[in-house]
Amino acid sequence: MADIVTILINGTVISSLYALVAIGFTMIFGVGGTINLAHGGIITVGAFSAYYVTNAGLGIWAGVLAAMAVPALFSVLLYKGFAERRDDIIIVMILTLLASIVVEEVVRIVEGSQPKAIPALVSGTTELLGSSVQNNLLVVFVVSWLLIGGLFAFVNYSKTGKAILATSMSPRGAALVGIESDRINLYTWAIAGLLAGIAGLFLGSYQTANWAMGREPLILSFSIVVLGGLGSIRGSLVAAYVIGFLEVITTSAIDPRLSGLAGLVVLVVVLLVRPEGLFGRELAEA
């Protein structure tokens, strides 16, 4: 029973983190048609921003702010430097991939290959269904869902959010009513960077931070957005829980060395059977 509870708890928490990563990834594709391969690198930027701030003695909550602000700024710089004026999505993919490699190599050279511990947001444990759960995991889950809920509210009820939604559905139609696509893309990249950065901090406090920590979430994000439907926030949310639980069940009940395999299998099956995914290509549906 305890093992099943542990799997349920770990699956629920890790799925919420995957949702943060995948939603940002799919928003950039939905609005600008760009596949941002630097998304994994942005996760690393978020984790190490928090690591440096907390090591400077400013506290973990200052680290939370750094994990949101620095990756959002980094993501905006990537958009301005690589994606704003380039129509060739292949070139943009290559440039963002190179950016991710540079981030990894810089972190590896500066910090080495040893994992770095990021302090937990809160300490202590809570007894839940007969299993002892770290309070940090509960806070990670709650904050993740607050961010996801806030994003849904922003997209569906704010003026800027509706402009993002309109641009994702019809860039030409949005331009005809005066919506500036460059400004909307800029906002989207900033939001995606913020979500990836905070996910990096959560992963670092849940596990550890290292130079290659963004690779697996990026690969899983591919599986999630393809399963959910490219450009669909709702689809990414549902798919994050499917992939997250498959990942936890595979690594917990079968073999930890199979990490990432479930996501790749799902990716291949979906591409062969239902390439449009579960929810097609819509950015947001409340």
Range 66-83 average pLDDT: 94
DSSP element (H, E) containing 96: helix 89-111
Residue 255 CA to residue 153 CA, distance in Å, equals 39
Residue 105 CA to residue 207 CA, distance in Å, equals 21
Residue 18 CA to residue 248 CA, distance in Å, equals 12
* Confidence grade of residue 56 (pLDDT, cut at 50, 70, 90): very high
Percent of the chain surpassing pLDDT 70: 97
DSSP class per residue in 209-257: B-TTTTHHHHHHHHHHHHHH-TT-HHHHHHHHHHHHHHHHHIIIII-GG
Reply yes or no on whether the pLDDT at 32 is more than 90. no
Per-residue pLDDT reduced to its tens digit, 89-115: 889 999 999 999 999 999 999 999 899
CA distances (Å), 241 to each of 22, 124, 215, 264, 267, in order?
11, 26, 19, 15, 14
* Confidence grade of residue 281 (pLDDT, cut at 50, 70, 90): low
Percent of the chain surpassing pLDDT 90: 38
How long a stretch of residues is the chain? Answer: 286
Residue 112 CA to residue 189 CA, distance in Å, equals 29
Query: What pLDDT sits at residue 284?
Result: 45
Per-residue pLDDT reduced to its tens digit, 126-167: 887 777 888 888 899 999 999 999 998 998 899 998 999 888
Residue 253 CA to residue 150 CA, distance in Å, equals 34
Here the tokens at position 53 are 């701030």
Residue 11 CA to residue 249 CA, distance in Å, equals 8
Range 219-248 average pLDDT: 85
What is the Cβ-side half-sphere exposure of residue 129, based on CA atoms within 13 angstroms?
Answer: 9
123: left (phi over 0), alpha (psi -120 to 50) or beta: beta
Please, what's the b/e burial string for 82-105 (b: 16 or more CB within 10 A of its CB; e: otherwise)?
bbeeeeeeeebbebbbebbeebbe
